[in-house]
Structure 1
Amino acid sequence: MAGIFGADIVQLRELSKHLDASSARLAGTKSSLSRDVQGSTAWKGADADRFRSDWAGTHTALLAKVIEALAAAGKAVAVHAEEQEKASGAGGQGGAVLGAGGGAGAFDKLPYRMDHSVPRHADQGQADLSNEELEKLQTLARDAADNNDVFEGNDKDVNELRDALAALKPAQLDQFLKTLSDNELKQLAEGSASDGKGLFNWEGTTPFEKHQLLDQMLSKASPEQVDRLKELIPWAQPNGEARGDAARPGGADPSTTNQWMDPAAPVIGEQPGKDDIRQGQYGDCVVMSAAGAMINADPDWARDHVTDNGNGTVSVRLFDQNGNGQWVTVTKDLPENSHGGQLGAKPGQNGNWPAYIEKALSQVYTEDDNRDPTKEGAPRDVADPPGNYRAIEGNYGPDAFKYLAGPDVEQTSDADVLWSAANEGRPSLVGTLGETPEGAPEGYRSGHAYFVTGTDRDGNIVLQNPWGPDHPKMSISKTEFTKFFQNATVTR
């Protein structure tokens, strides 16, 4: 292999692409196999249980290392090709435009990936856009910034710019961003944040659509441009204030500080799992339970849906209102509590990924209303729009679950439906009653959600508290579910 590719720059870059593609294909195969292994009901017994345990604990970890090694090799080959091109003085259109557009040198400064994320944009590409191509992108940006069209608004323009940016490699995207002034970026931020409605466009620009545009910029930009986008686009950062978790002993602990911190923990550890779910100060037990249910059913779920882009941003894959998976990219900083720690979900042994699910979801969540129950004497619930962490607090199972699992979720009070889901390994969560009933099992908290981790030898379902693995687990029968719990949300 080395003898064939040698120092041929074109073939080195081709090898880099093959390595990246192989990494992505193997990651997809691993995820598909995990779903088949964990979700199969045809193979039962001790041998089946042992194999599933080995698969989740050993085999997937080995495959993950191969996937990561392939991606790292692809990046290393690409860097070698770049160095070889510089050393040999290779030029052409790419060399000329690099000088004119500011170059791709910023990408050489990206930090080594310390976590186990699967890269979204492993091929950085070259800053080789022509002046004509740059002018077309600039025109699209101006159109997206202008929301003065009475008849159609600018929704179509925002989506056209998004699609154009999606076709760019990171180095090209960075080249384009450098041609925009601060004022032009501010105008683009204002225009794409408007609803985009005109007389003949009833829906306008949805939260997902405006964040798809932001995703194309944040996920690919150099760290320097990420800092610039964060400064110039106010809605790139959500409001981190919290009403608090009313189910906690002592009641809710609200926060209005809206301070931010740079976390030390990696986004994805070596073996992410359900015990990484450690709900913080936000009252988002449903969100954290949904995340716990998803990774309990599929050990690769976190790695497939959350990734560190290596440039100061993290991407999270959520489902929009039409059931389509969409990447939502946020900056890597997280809300800070009064003690200097993370206000939201705490990092687990294998990563900080739950905290980024919270942050991404807060940017696009539209299901909040003013009908959530509150304790006597507490302020009435209010509806918060996307862009607020408060929007993801205190909501109902299906509302939050569908952003993580897709539209095929249902709420039920039928114990048989819940038990069927648990026996088949389908993600499920349950909600408790508003007041603690007499005789409730140990670990029961009113107004709270728990996620199902399976069944025990007696046929009871096992519930885990999203506050963390150190809190008591509950094994409950069908009778106890009917008596002590409000309902369940299951994936179909």
Structure 2
Amino acid sequence: MGFVGFDSAKIRSLGRDLKALGDNAGKLHSDLSDVLTEAQSLMGGKPATTSPALQPLVANPFTFWPFGGGSLPGSLGHELGEMSDSITRRCNQLDMCNELVAKGYDIDPALAFADEKAPDEKKITDALSAIAALDGKGFGDDGNRDDLDEVKDKLDGLTAAELDAFLAKVPAEDLRRYGDLAQKTDDSGMWWWESHDGIPAGQFRDHLSHLLQEAGPSHWAKLQAAFPGIQPGFDTTDAWLQGYNSQLGQGVKGMHYGMPGDPLFATPGKVDASSISQGQFADCWYIASLTATAQADPKFIQEGIKQNPNGTVNVRIWDKDGNQHWVTVTPDLPMDENGNLVSAHGSGETWPAYYEKAFALMYGGDTGGTPDNHEGDKLYDRAEQGDYGATEWDNTDKAPPYVTGHDSKSIDNNLGAIKKSFESHHPVIVATGSVDQNDVPPEWKGSFVSRHVFYVKGFTADGKVILGNPWGGGAPDVEATPEQYEKYFNSPQELQVSG
């Protein structure tokens, strides 16, 4: 069944009428200018109009958009012309979607009204043929990259409606085969041409983001099944393996992906570093870097995340080689059995969770690492990539490049050097060593733990450093004298942020 209830012929007629009115707007503007100019002349120079909008027309028939204000008649030529073109594009889109539905294609109804180029059935069938041709194909001496690039280019060239129709038709095994071949880029063989297998990781990551950004929600599961790099797993995290967070001592049961109820920002477009909570994953080194950056330059963080019309979220992040990517993630997030977010989050907002989700997909520096008492246990002490487990238990200098696009700078381990960096508007993070909890100042209990990362929030009037705990959620700040700082903290990093 097609998309009914719209008379395309009448809507097109409206578009033509608007176009005609727009074409005549320039003549109306000029005529009005002539009338006002002549009237002012006949009135002996007295103002011909008291309207501030019409006064610029006197003796100046060219005062209209783009040269002047957009409220004058001449501006209608541009505005009505654009409106007419949009109506025509939307009618073409609706008519072609109806034709494809009549031929047996499945298209999300919301896409039938998009303002984009009308779908072309040939582009859909060409993409289906190209991906099916990978089955059993004997690739030449140059590997399979040319064949895979052909598929990638065809998919990237589809409009949202065309991609929707393609995903509804393509067999799951064809999509999965394409994903497997694309990600096999091992060039460790003896022949030079083996380096031409697969699609380079950065290009394929951008390709996956493009597909996910355009695809309708009904196809996300199909994409995730074919391309595991779209959705990070959490079954390698300490919280999953042990059922609790070892530092917080909080239980975590029934972990699953679910849809959060909070918006991206509690206040639209406003980043509040003080609202961030680490959640149950052991990635304090990343959350501290994110929070410190949000505190120092909230606009930088705010500009690095945006929501797409289909509900997915784009996050700006850099890879291990310093290349910038906009990673697209689905809006679902890890939750516990009660529907509470297990991942990072804000107070009534979710943007930190999506930054963390994109980081889980992109982090490529994991070499293992484990909470105390699990060294050598392969369930914990293992290298991972593309999941939340990869982001746990690493060093303070590893996360900043993914947040800011620049390596961090190690600074001297004293409050003088730290204060200088902080007052130069640099985010600063510091780590704790392995400390006997019985030796911790009593006023720090409930916030200070070993093998943790804090961020610098400021300094007191009497020279103490104020350190924020990325746990958030009411975890108290730590105020340390210079002597206490040097005893309990180490590895300070100055983050480099530039837009």
Q: TM-score, normalised by structure 2?
A: 0.68
Among 485, 488, 493, the alignment partner of 1:484 is 488
1:432 Cα deviation after fit: 0.8
CA distance in 2, matches of 1:187, 1:487: 45
- One-letter code of the match for 1:410? K
CA positional deviation for 1:367: 1.0
Q: Hey, what does 1:243 align to over in structure 2?
A: 238
- Return the offset for 1:84: 4.1
Matched residue of 1:287: which SS? Answer: helix
The aligned residue for residue 433 of structure 2 is 433
Summarize deviations over 1:135-155 as a string: whole Å, max 9, x none: 554566467888975855445
Moved more, 316-325 or 158-167: 158-167
Q: Distance in 2 between matches of 1:301 and 1:101?
A: 46
One-letter code aligned to 1:292: T
Q: Is the 8 A contact 1:159 1:209 kept in 2?
A: no
Q: Which SS does the other structure have where 2:298 is aligned?
A: coil
- Counterpart Cα distance in 1 of 2:275 and 2:119: 42
Residue 128 (structure 1) aligns with: 119
| Match of residue 230 from structure 1 | 224
Which residues in structure 2 correspond to 1:334-483 (within 5 Å)?
334-349=333-348, 351-370=349-368, 372=369, 374-376=371-373, 380=377, 381-415=380-414, 416-436=416-436, 438=439, 440=441, 442=444, 443-468=447-472, 470-483=474-487
Unpaired runs of 5+ residues, structure 2, are 1-12, 23-79
1:261 partner amino acid: G
The structural deviation recorded for 1:102 is 4.7
Where relative contact order (Cα < 8 A, 6+ residues apart) is larger, the structure is: 1
| Structure 2 residue matching 1:183: 3-state secondary structure | helix
Structure 2 residue aligned with 1:54: none
Q: 1:285 to 1:91 in 2, by over 3 A?
A: closer
CA contact (8 A) 1:428 1:451 kept: yes
- Structure 1 residues 169, 272: CA separation in 2 closer, same or farther (over 3 Å shift)? farther
Question: Identical aligned pairs, as a percentage?
Answer: 23
Checking the alignment, whether the CA contact within 8 Å between 2:296 and 2:426 is kept in structure 1 is: yes
For 2:482 and 2:149, how far apart are their aligned partners in 1?
A: 49
Instruction: Determine whether 1:268 maps to 2:265.
Output: yes
1:221 aligns with 2:215: yes
Shift, 1:473, TM fit:
1.2
Does the 8 Å contact 2:15/2:83 carry over to 1? Answer: no
AA in 1 matched with 2:265: I
**Residue 318 of structure 2 is aligned to residue 300 of structure 1:** no
Give the stretch that moved more between structures: 353-362 or 95-104: 95-104
- Correspondence list, 1:88-167, <5 A: 102=105, 106-108=109-111, 125-129=116-120, 131=122, 133-134=123-124, 137-138=127-128, 141=131, 149=139, 152-154=142-144, 158=148, 161-162=151-152, 165-166=155-156
Separation in 2 of the partners of 1:488 and 1:147? 54
- Note the C-alpha offset of 1:240: 1.4
Secondary structure of the structure 2 residue equivalent to 1:219 = helix
RMSD of Structure 2 on Structure 1 (CA): 4.1
Amino acid at match of 1:481: Y
Question: Take 2:91 and 2:228, find their aligned partners in 1: how far apart are those partners?
Answer: 44
Instruction: Give the partner amino acid of 1:470.
Output: G
Residue identity matched to 2:385: P
1:200-211, aligned counterparts within 5 Å? 200=192, 205=199, 207-211=201-205
Q: Is the 8 A contact 1:268 1:353 kept in 2?
A: yes
Partners in 2 of 1:417 and 1:237 — Cα distance?
41
SS in 2 for 1:486: strand
- SS at 2:342's partner residue? coil
Give the Cα–Cα distance (whole angstroms) in 2 for the partners of residues 227 and 82 of structure 1: 36
Q: Aligned residue pairs: how many? A: 407
SS of structure 2 residue aligned to 1:328: strand
Task: Give me the whole-angstrom Cα distance separating, in 2, the residues matched to 1:227 and 1:486.
Answer: 44
Aligned residue for 2:282, secondary structure, equals coil
Is contact 2:100-2:121 (8 Å) kept? yes
Name the aligned partner's letter for residue 210 of structure 1: F
Report the 3-state secondary structure (helix = DSSP H, G, I; strand = E; otherwise coil) of the residue aligned with 1:229.
helix
Q: Is the partner of 2:399 in helix, strand or coil?
A: helix
